[in-house]
């Protein structure tokens, strides 16, 4: 069974631009979560989607948004990029949002903002 796929793997943008990252979950998984990983703040929860609905959102500004499609694929968007948005963005999928369901992580998208 294929794992979680994230595209693109690497991205370079300039301040003020916007970016869209994509995540394809493991087949059959309907829950997708996004995390931001930076050296300073570590791993921080961004949002969680299940059946096309955002169930939870972390403490990030409104420039960060996301959505989930009917096939469970998810995208996250960051508008008006800032230097501090440079990070590894990780997507994780699980069968459902039930806390006991293991989250499987993708390799991440490395975003660099210049």
Partner 1 sequence: AQSVTQLDSQVPVFEEAPVELRCNYSSSVSVYLFWYVQYPNQGLQLLLKYLSGSTLVKGINGFEAEFNKSQTSFHLRKPSVHISDTAEYFCAVTPPGYGGSQGNLIFGKGTKLSVKP
β partners of residue 12: 112
Residue whose structure tokens are 């703040």: 41
Binding of partner 1 at residue 48 (CB under 8 A)?
Answer: yes
Of 17, 107, 112, 114, which one interacts with partner 1 (CB under 8 A)? 107
Spell out, one character per residue from 28 to 47, where the chain touches partner 1: x when CB under 8 A holds, - when not: -----x-x------xxxx-x
- In the complex, the smallest distance separating the C-beta of residue 35 from partner 1, rounded to whole angstroms, is 8
Read off the tokens for 96. Answer: 């459902």
Among the residue ranges 11-19, 48-56, 66-74, 79-87, the one whose residues contact partner 1 (CB under 8 A): 48-56
Catalogue the long-range contacts made by 7-10 (C-beta closer than 8 Å, 24 or more residues apart). Answer: 7/109, 8/109, 9/107, 9/108, 9/109, 9/110, 10/109, 10/110, 10/112
Residues 78, 5, 110, 59, CA torsion sign? positive
98 touching partner 1, by CB under 8 A: yes
Q: Is 60 in the site for partner 1 (CB under 8 A)?
A: no
Q: Does 12 bind partner 1 (CB under 8 A)?
A: no
Residue 55: cis peptide before it, omega within 30 degrees of 0: no
Q: Where on the chain is the footprint of partner 1 (CB under 8 A)? A: 4, 33, 35, 42-45, 47-48, 50, 55-58, 90, 92, 96-100, 102-108
């Amino acid at each position: 069974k294929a794992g979680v796929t994230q595209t693109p793997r690497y991205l370079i943008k300039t301040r003020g631009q916007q970016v869209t990252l994509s995540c394809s979950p493991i087949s059959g998984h309907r829950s997708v979560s996004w995390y931001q990983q930076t050296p300073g703040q570590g791993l921080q929860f961004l949002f969680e989607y299940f059946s096309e609905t955002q169930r939870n959102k972390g403490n990030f500004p409104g420039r960060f948004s996301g959505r989930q499609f009917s096939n469970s694929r998810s995208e996250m968007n960051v508008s008006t990029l800032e230097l501090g948005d440079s990070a590894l963005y990780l997507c994780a999928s699980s069968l459902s949002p039930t806390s006991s369901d293991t989250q499987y992580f993708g390799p991440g998208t490395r975003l660099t903002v210049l």
